[in-house]
Structure 1
């Protein structure tokens, strides 16, 4: 079998590479994710008791002042576990389908529709595994106890979680499996995010390899090229599909109860207008753009090391 033909459709090296990429990017950029989520759920109507922030810098300053630097890493454990699992599952499922379609010939370019379909299916299957982790992450990121000086004594309706496992247990005990899968439907709509990102990434990488290097689509690029392609593809995807993240965060929030997706969308539009669907966009873009660059650099580097024939 020639060097450019893969002899395994399912290659676990993609899982390891993807998990490593997700963990590293999350540990570096989690504080921005925390701030993004807090902005996303802030209705501005006074219905829920939340800290009031006057921008990203103010949010960061206040969190550090009250909770210390560790306050910026509230919810980091489920976020790290979730990102590691999500990217690991995503890359192994996506690449398995991709190599199946290529029939092992890694130099064969697929159509944009094929890339988009594979990315959407990979996102849906990954979400089915990881949605409970994202619910836990959101709940832990939205504990404001110290900032608001709340305690269970003066606010008995507030649920307090002592950590990731405790949060899992309490949600399952009080809300059942349904509670762990809150936000799943808008999350499915979010598979369009991954589809847009991967179509953009694959298309740019293939075009760049053929135009600049005059070589096939499997050409090994350098770190800065992977970083740039990863950042641009994420910027395009995040800008076009962001509203679903706001809807999902609100459904997963423990401080507010909505009647479902339609209720969230209706109240967002009624009380906050179009702006409400883009709350937290700036910290999100500042976080996910370099995060995606890091993910693709780490993934491509590790997969090249683990799969020496990947770029032959």
Structure 2
């Protein structure tokens, strides 16, 4: 075979490698499994993190807690176990679908960039690109669920204010948000959410780079199945790095989605937070967030890796 024929054959083969060829449901199932497992275990911390994040010290309707332990005790005493799991249904839907879609889109884009060769390592820039594209696609699909989860988590046992709407579950919240705010209501917090795509991009870049370097050091394929300790360690480190560098967007996003207070837009929220609370306002709830998201990510990634390897028989 001549060099020209060989090149033509290679081009023809590459042309057959389309984006849809790399869509594998196994990544969707594995991602959903990881998201559901971590959410069921750690939802109370997520609820407390949201309540800390929206507390700007000016809203009398917002409960005030002195710390994580006090928040747990107060919520359990005033609202019972149910209070700790307010918003869990949309959180399960949101986390399950988000992780499932994210892993699906991320792996599809990554393998497409690799040209179908899963053994070809990518650099940090390509990992960032794949994770960013996956994050944006996932965000547009799941943002309504995150709005509902935030609204339900911010319903308190005390009497609601006159302008607050009481939601009786996820479906009721979806219906009432659409009735009172229209389609735009489902996409409150979308802009800071788009900025927040950088969080997932940084996390996945760090996680993938750590896995690749570890496998390269041990001279094994980059898609080699690792042990639980390796997955847990890489997931924890990548999450701490990502959370510490991108947390402010989560505070802004939660405040925009809060039905008890209204900001004009993202810029107004940022200005008011800075004016009344300084830089510390952008990091409210960070301690609770790290306490929740670090083990959540460890559970999610460990579950995902094991389920995906089992389904794909890698």
- The structure with the largest helix share of the pair is 2
Are the counterparts in 2 of residues 209 and 215 from structure 1 also a CA contact under 8 Å? yes
Q: CA deviation at 1:215?
A: 1.6
Q: Which has the higher Rg, Structure 1 or Structure 2?
A: 2
CA distance in 2, matches of 1:134, 1:44: 24
User: 2:259 — aligned with what?
Assistant: 254
| Count, aligned residues | 298
Alignment of 1:274-293 (within 5 A): 274-293=279-298
Residue 100 of structure 2 corresponds to residue 117 of structure 1: no
Residue 311 of structure 2 corresponds to residue 298 of structure 1: no
User: 1:228 — aligned with what?
Assistant: 233
Alignment of 1:1-312 (within 5 A): 8-45=21-58, 47-144=59-156, 146=157, 148=158, 150=159, 155-211=161-217, 213-308=218-313, 310=314
TM-score for the superposition, normalised by structure 1:
0.93
CA distance in 2, matches of 1:50, 1:289: 26
Q: Give the aligned CA root-mean-square deviation in angstroms.
A: 1.6
- Deviation string, structure 1 residues 31-57 (Cα, Å, up to 9, x no partner): 000000000000112x34111111111
CA distance in 1, matches of 2:301, 2:197: 18
CA distance in 1, matches of 2:275, 2:248: 15
TM-score for the superposition, normalised by structure 2:
0.92
Q: CA deviation at 1:284?
A: 0.2
Q: After the TM superposition, which parts of structure 1 deviate over 4 Å for at least 4 consecutive aligned residues? A: none
